[in-house]
Amino acid sequence: MTTPTTHLTTPPAPTGPRPAMPIGGGAPGFPGLGGGLAPAPGASLRLPGEHFAAALAFLVLGAAGIVWVAPQLAEGRYLSPHVAGVTHLFTLGWLTTTIFGAIYQLLPVALGAPVRWERAGHVSFAAFVPGVALFALGVMRSSIVLHHVGIALITTGIVLLVTNVALSLPKARARDVIWSAMAIAVSFLTLTLVLGVLLVHNLHTGFLRGARLHVLATHLHVALLGWVFVMIVGMSHRLLPMFLVAHGANTRWTRRALALLVPGVLTLAAGLASDAGVLDWVGGALVEGGVVCFLIQARSFFRSRVRRRLDAGLRHAALALLVLAADALLAPVVLALGFAHPRLGTTYVALGVVGAFALYVVGIFYKIVPFLAWITRYRSAMGRERVPTVAQLYSARIAHVDLALYAAGIAGLVVGIGTAQPVAVRGAGICLLAAVLLFVSQMMHAAWGTPQGAQT
């Protein structure tokens, strides 16, 4: 199947291989996507849309923050309040806000479970987003007031989200691996919140004393592996085969990944929190196995694709998977050396947060946001007038430029932190910021800009 190159096209009758999922209202130039993401006619996209918009703002702030904290990153000062604040712009701001929006989008269309209280979803958004901003600022400025106001708003947002999911999942028609991943992930999100509240309280009381680093490491791994990564594993099981138009892939590896990740994250968390070396290694081995299973599943989808040429979004995702594999190889080294080599630990976290997870979500955005923008802008005109394809809502050339800049930024972070060179880290941050600004401009163009000729 080929992407139309005219500015405006009348969608032809479907030909060629059958899409991986039913189209069900899909968009021209986006085979197989509608059945997995398209809302019912008349359904509002405001709830996921507002989360995605806020997440983009946090991504810009996080990328700018890397430029700002470059000297501390180069020294491996991960306990610096500035570094911690920027980290939360990525983890809570970009990743978690995006996942919240994706949950509200996928619950009804992927699991057949309408969001129980859509109004509560908007209230959750109204609390969570300013909460993240205030909390990150409070961490950077070591402000007690901002800490507590921010964490209170974040807690409100998370509790409402978890409640909504808990009430919606029992209504789901499909209780498959995606259903399991969502249930598991929100449970880990709850644990992440509890650990985060403990760490905030410790900032002003010091009650954790020498256990602070162990609780911090536990909080970080539960958040990234139990919450973010489990959600990525579950959602990718649905999204990758649709985006790739993949047929005949072995889909058992996702379930295997979850079966290893759940006990792995729990065991690793117990080991990190208690400084029990045996538990660290057992949990780490299980998590590594889960990562390997996920990578095998992703490779199976990529190898089974009908359309051989990867578009810009899928190339972003593919690079992120390679970075994830590299970070998984680094993890045992970091575990063995413990807290004795802070620059190595900083590299490990930067690769995971910025290089693997954040970039993977950027790739998924390139697939989801233009489609949702197309639905909003053009679905009502289908069959009555000529409409652009989804691919015409953004520039593939610019998308590939932002991918090259992002790749250079990741490499620069590794080299700069590894050699303790602030100039290199700052240069890497500038590359990342430029890539993010190009990416955000693409998403804005998809939402509001004039369609252009599709480019491959």
Q: Is the pLDDT of residue 88 over 60?
A: yes
CB neighbours of residue 58 within 10 Å: 25
- What is 357-411 written as a DSSP string? IIHHHHHHHHHHHHHHHHHHHHGGGTTTS-B--GGGGS-HHHHHHHHHHHHHHHH
Q: How confident is the model at residue 11 (pLDDT cuts 50, 70, 90)?
A: very low
Higher pLDDT, 170 or 289: 289
Tell me the C-alpha to C-alpha distance, in Å, between residue 362 and each of 99, 156, 164, 228, 347: 12, 27, 26, 14, 20
Q: For position 40, what pLDDT does the model report?
A: 52
pLDDT tens per residue across span 30-81: 444 444 566 655 456 888 999 999 999 999 999 999 999 999 999 999 889 9
* E-assigned strand segments in 125-225: none
Q: For position 43, what pLDDT does the model report?
A: 53
> Are the beta carbons of 236 and 257 closer than 8 angstroms?
no
Structure tokens at 205: 């009381």
Tell me the C-alpha to C-alpha distance, in Å, between residue 144 and each of 150, 205, 211, 441: 10, 11, 21, 36
Average pLDDT, the chain: 87
Q: How confident is the model at residue 257 (pLDDT cuts 50, 70, 90)?
A: very high
Q: For position 6, what pLDDT does the model report?
A: 31
Continuous H helices in 19-69: 34-37, 46-68
Q: For position 442, what pLDDT does the model report?
A: 94
Long-range contacts of the stretch 14-23 (C-beta < 8 A, 24+): 16/306, 17/245, 17/247, 17/306, 19/242, 19/245, 20/241, 20/242, 20/244, 20/245, 20/246, 20/247, 20/306, 21/241, 21/242
Q: How confident is the model at residue 12 (pLDDT cuts 50, 70, 90)?
A: very low
Comparing 13-27, 167-181, 207-221, the range with the smallest average pLDDT is 13-27
Q: Is the pLDDT of residue 5 over 60?
A: no
- What is 237-255 written as a DSSP string? HHHHHHHHTB-S---HHHH
* Closest to 56 (Cα-Cα) out of 105, 120, 129: 129
Q: For position 19, what pLDDT does the model report?
A: 34
The domains of the chain, with CATH numbers, are 43-378+388-448 (1.20.210.10)
pLDDT > 90 in the chain, percent: 66
Averaged pLDDT for residues 114-140 = 93
Structure tokens at 99: 């996942």
Q: For position 454, what pLDDT does the model report?
A: 42
Q: Is the pLDDT of residue 27 over 60?
A: no
CB neighbours of residue 7 within 10 Å: 14
Q: How confident is the model at residue 111 (pLDDT cuts 50, 70, 90)?
A: confident
Q: Is the dihedral of CA 337, 341, 346, 348 positive or negative?
A: negative
207 φ/ψ angles, rounded to the nearest 5 degrees: -70, -20
Helices and strands counted in the chain (H then E): 17, 0
b/e sequence 354-383, b meaning 16+ C-beta within 10 Å? bbbbbbbbbbbbbbbbbbbbbbebbbeeee
Q: Is the pLDDT of residue 112 over 90?
A: no
Q: Is the pTM of this model over 0.95?
A: no
pLDDT > 70 in the chain, percent: 89
Q: For position 113, what pLDDT does the model report?
A: 76
Averaged pLDDT for residues 359-388 = 86
Q: For position 115, what pLDDT does the model report?
A: 82
Structure tokens at 63: 């990328």
pLDDT tens per residue across span 264-298: 999 999 999 887 779 999 999 999 999 999 999 99
pLDDT tens per residue across span 391-426: 888 999 999 999 999 999 999 999 999 999 999 999
